[in-house]
Each structure stands twice: as structure tokens, then as C-alpha cells.
Amino acid sequence: MNKKNIYTQNNNLKIKPSKKDYEGVLYTPSNYAKQKKLIGFNENYDYIKNSKKVKKKIKNKKSQYKFFMTLTITSGIIIFFIVLAMAYNSINFDDSPKPAENKFNANLSFEELENQKNNTDTNNNNSFSAEIPLTITGVIQNINSTTKLISFMDTDKEEIYNMTVSESASIKDKYNQDIFFADLSIGDIAEFTFSDTIINSVTKSDKCWEIKSVTDIKIDISKNTISRKNNVYSYSDTTLFLYNGVSFEPKNINSTDTLTLKGIGNKIFTVIVEKSHGILNIINKEHIKDGIIEIDTNIYKNLSDAAQFTLSEGIHKVVVKGSNIEPLSYEAEIKAGEEFNMNLSELAAEKTGTLTIKANVSDYALYINENLELSRNNIDLTYGTYNIKIMKEGYVTYETQVKINSSNTVINADVKKEIYMGTLTVTSQPSGAQLYLDGTYVGLTPYTSDVTQGQHSITVKKEGYKDSTLSSIFIENKKEQNFNIILQDKNETLENN
């Protein structure tokens, strides 16, 4: 390039470099350079000096770029190895789970379980190795809402596992809807997803069926079967039988109990007794006549056949009726595993009626069933049969029997004066004569009879004989009077004449 003077005019501003190599060369800065006042573009500035600074700046930029690339590649390598390690740990090399091996015993209390868990954590020992399946279908055996420790049994192998639910764990019902940890209960069947001893998710199993609040369940403990209607299910020694969260013996279950059953297929894993049963004893019922008993409108029996009833726990309405009692309605509270005695002599009020005595005498003594009754009118008596006796001096005792079976019963008592009697015996010669007592024929001689105390007359008659009369004889009370009458032949009288 031939060196020559080149003049470029831009807004009358001319810059002439100071180096000889560039003598005569004029540089006109751009508007951007002029506005920003970039280094090396000011008037009378040395161009070479400016060029060195620009090169140094470019060099610095290249160094920064190399540092950035090195850092990026190093970070990528680190991330790669982290991802590789995580993928390796997620691979399951063992198809079977490794249970807790009694490090957390499901039969222990949760205080003991947590003490064991704390000791295990302190020694850095896990209940499971890392090589376990991610998901198990299990039945919750124990649960602690405070520590979120769950013990569950594998439904396939019937082995017990003990784990802690993580704070971020997903908890859902079988419809995949979110629920709370508190919604999990002992006996629930769920899918547990976990790693080591930490549960990451719990979902109530959609494989599980549940029959709620049923009665009339039959249990055969010899065959380990549970029957409902025409369906027969099996159970095992690991099946949970629960009442109020406490283990319950299957032999103690009665057909009156209300149960909830949970299982998979034909096997029952959980039996929850919602309502157990107790015993109702009917005592002191003998005095009730024609009695019947009714319980909750579905039990109806003759009272004579009713001694004991097995009823579900709770309040039951008991109605007792009888011909001699007022209808009794009673609420009996039956408690699980307990007996309740219903004493009908205390509870059943007997029917009563009023007895009214109408007698022809006053100031008499009244006896009812040999007990002196002070009152003589409007006497209240329970239904039944009573012996009534009215006594007064100088009168014959009045006795009768009365049945009280209505609201009012009346006795019309005719009390007679007492009559004193003596015994009259009359014989005659010859015998077989007709005897008249106080003018009334009473029989043939010989004759004996009780006669009222006082004056009487007797006449003895026989054909062919003269009549013989005793016009005034006195019969004393409780004494016997004997009279022998000798009759005179009529023919003998004529001869004597």
C-alpha cells in the first residue's frame, strides 16, 4: 500500500496518528465512538497505544471463556456420576423383601417399638436392606399418629414390617383422593411404597373389598371359616380381630354382633367388631300370670320360656305383659361381655282392684287371707284370689272366696246370728213311730238330731197306739237330751173300760 496522505472529513474533525508508519493517515471515528468516547479514539491519542489495550482486553475475554468452559464440563461430569449412582441404587437385585427380623416386633407396644427404632437408628442399622421391592400390599397392624410409625403385614407372605412414614409421603384412598394420615386405621389394607425403612406413599388398596356393619355372621373356629348368607370366607391366625382397637378372640363373636369385614379374594384379613354382645337375665317372673315378653319388636316369647337372652350392646326396649300386672316398658342397657339382671318383682307393677264389703251388720272384724284388715270398704288389692272372713260376737262367722280381676269388686255379706244347738234323741216302744218336732214331722223313731236351744214339743204317733206328746222340753246348748216314749195300745184301753 502506498503511503499517502488521505484526508477524510467528518464534521470537520480530523485525527492524525503520531506514529511514523501511519504518517499522513487520518482516522475519522464513528458517531458511536464519539458518543461513548472509547479509548483510542480521542483526538491527539496515540493509535498504537490504543491497539495494545484492545488486544489485552480480547486476551482477557478468551481467558474468561476458557474458565467458563472448564467449569461447565466439570459440573456436567459431576452431575452425570450423581445420576448414575441414583439409577444404580434404584435397581432391585432381589425379588423378595427383607423383613424387620424382629427389630420392630408388631406385638410390642408402640413405646417399645419406638425405643427399638431409636436404638437401631443410633447404631446405623436399618430394618431393611436397600435391596427391597418398592411396593407391598399390607394390612396395618399398628399405627402411631405422633411418630408416624406403621407396622404392617405383607398379605402374600404374612411377614411383619415396621416403617416410618415420611413427612412428604403421599397418602390416598382407593379412589386416589388425598386423605390425612389420621384417616389410616389398624386393619386397613393398603399399598405401601418405600425405600429402606421410610414409606414414601400409602394408598388404600383397590384390591380390597369391605363389608360394613353386618350381623348374623357365623364363625367356625374349627375350620377357620366365616360365613355370611351363602358366602364362605377363610381366615388365618394372622387375621386381625379387633374390638375398640384391641385384639378380640373369634370364639367370642356372636351372631348378634355387628361386624365389618375386610379381605382380598376369598380371604379375610380384618374383622372389626363394631358392636359386641351381653346377656339379659329375666329373674323373679314366677308371680306373673299369662306373661309374655317382647324385646325390640323382633323377639316375642312366653315369659315362662324366657330366662336369658343374648343381645347386642346398647339400649334395648323390653316390654312385659301379664294378666295380673300392668304393662311394663323398660330400657335395658346391655354392655359388652356383661350380664344384666332384670328383676320383675321390683319392676312389674301388679294390677289392682277395689274390694267393697256390704254387710247386714256393723262393727265386725274383717280378715283377708287370715290377715286382719282395719279398713272395711274400698280396699285396694292386687289381682288374684282371696279368702274373706267376717266375724262378730253372737253371729255365725261369714266366709267366702273372692277373685279380684277388675277395677271394682263388691261382696254382699249376709251375716246370721249365732244359733245355740243341743242334741235331741227320741226312742219309742214300739219303735218305728212317727216323730213330730214342734208340730213338724221329722222322722221315725229312734231319731237323733241337733235342735236349737230352748223350749220344744215332741209328739210320737203309731197306728193302733195312742199318741204321746211332750209339750215342753228344754234343749240346752251343746247338751244331749234323751227321751224314751212308751206307747199305749188302744185295745188295752177299751178292755179296761
- Host H or E run for residue 165: strand 160-172
Domain boundaries, the chain: 1-91, 110-204, 209-275, 277-347, 352-413, 421-496
Dihedral of CA atoms 97, 98, 102, 108 in degrees, nearest 10, equals -30
CATH number for the domain formed by residue range(s) 277-347: 2.60.40
421-496 fold: Immunoglobulin-like (2.60.40)
* Integer angstrom CA distances of residue 342 from 21, 349, 461, 470: 131, 14, 79, 77
Specify the pTM.
0.53
110-204 fold: OB fold (Dihydrolipoamide Acetyltransferase, E2P) (2.40.50)
Residue from 457, 431, 463, 459 nearest 444 by CA: 431
Residue 487, helix vs strand vs coil: coil
CATH number for the domain formed by residue range(s) 209-275: 2.40.50
Buried b (16+ CB within 10 A) or exposed e, 143-180: bbeeebbbbbbbbeeebbbbbbbeeebebbebeeeeee
352-413 fold: Immunoglobulin-like (2.60.40)
Left if phi > 0, otherwise alpha if psi is -120 to 50, otherwise beta: which for 175? alpha
Report the C-alpha gap between 104 and 115 in whole angstroms: 9
Q: What is the CA angle 442-444-446, rounded to 5?
A: 110
> Do 421-496 and 209-275 fall under one CATH topology?
no
Buried b (16+ CB within 10 A) or exposed e, 296-327: eeeeeeebeebeebebbbbebebebbbebbee
Sheet holding 299-302, edge to edge: 299-302, 292-295, 314-322, 325-334
DSSP 259-323: EEEEEETTEEEEEEEEE-EEEEEEES-TT-TT-EEEETTTEEEEGGG-SEEEEESEEEEEEEEET
Strand partners, 330: 318
pLDDT in tens, the chain (497 residues): 443 333 334 444 444 444 444 445 444 555 555 554 444 444 444 444 455 555 565 566 667 777 778 888 888 888 888 888 777 665 544 444 444 443 334 344 445 555 555 554 444 333 444 445 589 999 999 999 899 999 999 999 999 999 999 999 999 999 999 999 999 999 999 999 998 889 999 999 999 999 999 999 999 999 999 999 899 999 999 999 999 989 989 999 999 999 999 999 999 999 999 999 999 999 999 989 899 999 998 899 999 988 899 999 999 999 999 988 999 999 999 999 999 999 999 998 888 999 999 999 999 999 999 999 888 778 999 888 999 999 998 898 999 999 998 889 999 999 998 888 899 999 999 999 999 999 999 999 999 999 988 999 999 999 999 999 999 999 998 899 999 999 998 887 555 54
Residue from 459, 455, 461, 448 nearest 488 by CA: 461
